[in-house]
A and B are shown apart, each in its own frame.
Chain A
Amino acid sequence: MDCSSQLVTVGFCSRASNLRLLRSVMRDAAGLAGLDAGQTDAMVLAVNEACMNIIQHAYGMDPDGRIDVSLWQEPGALVIRIRDYAPPVDAGQVRSRDLDDIRPGGLGVHLINSLMDECGFVEPPSGGGNLLQMKMFARKQGENDDISG
């Protein structure tokens, strides 16, 4: 482990009741990374949405799945990797719904793509599962990162 760039790794079970604690940890990690309020809100919501998708879809609400979230810094970017141990998902099927089609659900992927600069599945390490990687690039001074738009 490269401790100079590592911010936090948190592992938890796939229970909706754990999301609040996860968000709290992500907020603290955002502070360590020097994110401003808007960037912090964006990152926290994106991580929440990704983990919620895992709980609902990858694990099908099975409360005993494992999820690992890791954050570290690269030059110019905050990197977030979210690992699950569920059967592999078909990345082609993970897509946002048409926003003009007003219906409950299907917003999570749209929110993640709106909030993060990069997002996609990468090859998981041995042991199977899925590995989602998201990146938030450092902003130049004055650029607006606020999710309030």
Chain B
Amino acid sequence: MTFPVEDRQGFSVVMLSGEIDLNNSPDARKVILNSLKKMKHVMVDLSNVDYIDSSGVASLVEGFQYARSNELEFGLIGVSEAAMSVLRLARLDQVFRIYGSLDERLANGG
């Protein structure tokens, strides 16, 4: 499965969608890390994620760690309630930078 990436206003926006589980989280991990390895700031759009399990969350954590180690920005935008509930359980809602949208991130200035 391929997750699309769009370059917008200095960010690579990775658009995850559907159910993110052990079957496709390696694809999510790959697309997130590939964008970061191009030394691009990354926002992961979770607005169309209906379900995410701990393997999907691990892909996000890996992106977060890679970005932090390489002085890149990594954040989440439009987090669906389904995804947010799992992030809260893992207490990662306090770790990730989370914005309503890319516009909100741009307005906040980082």
Query: How many angstroms between the C-alpha atoms of A19 and B86 in the bound complex?
Result: 17
Confirm or deny: B89 has a beta carbon within 8 angstroms of a beta carbon on chain A: yes
Number of chain B residues whose Cβ lies closer than 8 Å to a Cβ of chain A = 26
**Scoring A residues 24 to 51 as 1 if CB is less than 8 Å from chain B, else 0, what string do you get?**
0000000000000000010001001100
Known contacts: A149-B88, A149-B89. The answer to whether A107 contacts B95 by CB under 8 A is no
Selected contact of A20 from candidates B19, B62, B81, CB within 8 Å = B19
Q: Interface digits, A106-149 against B, CB 8 Å rule (1 contact, 0 not)?
A: 01101100110000000000000000000000000000001111
Q: How far is the CA of A139 from the CA of B88 in the complex (A)?
A: 22
Q: Which residues of A contact B92 (CB under 8 A)?
A: 102
Is B55's CB within 8 Å of the partner chain A?
yes
Contact of A114 with B89 at beta-carbon distance under 8 Å, contacts A16-B22, A20-B23, A52-B53 already known: yes
Tell me the residues in window 86-102 of chain B with beta carbons closer than 8 Å to chain A beta carbons: 86, 88-92, 95
Closest to B81 in A: A148
CB atoms of A48 and B53 under 8 A apart: yes
Specify the chain A residue showing the minimal Cβ separation from B91: A99
Question: Is A107 a contact of B58 with CB atoms below 8 Å?
Answer: yes
A147 pairs with B54, CB closer than 8 A: no
Within 8 Å of chain A (Cβ to Cβ): is B84?
Answer: yes
- Contacts from B to A (Cβ < 8 Å): 19, 21-23, 51, 53-55, 57-59, 61-62, 64-65, 81-82, 84-86, 88-92, 95
A residues contacting B by CB (< 8 A) are: 16-17, 19-20, 23, 41, 45, 48-49, 52, 55-56, 99, 102-105, 107-108, 110-111, 114-115, 146-149
Q: 22 A-B contacts, Cβ less than 8 Å apart?
A: A16-B21, A16-B23, A19-B21, A19-B22, A19-B23, A20-B19, A20-B23, A23-B51, A41-B82, A45-B53, A49-B54, A52-B53, A103-B65, A104-B59, A104-B62, A104-B65, A107-B57, A107-B58, A111-B54, A111-B86, A115-B89, A149-B88
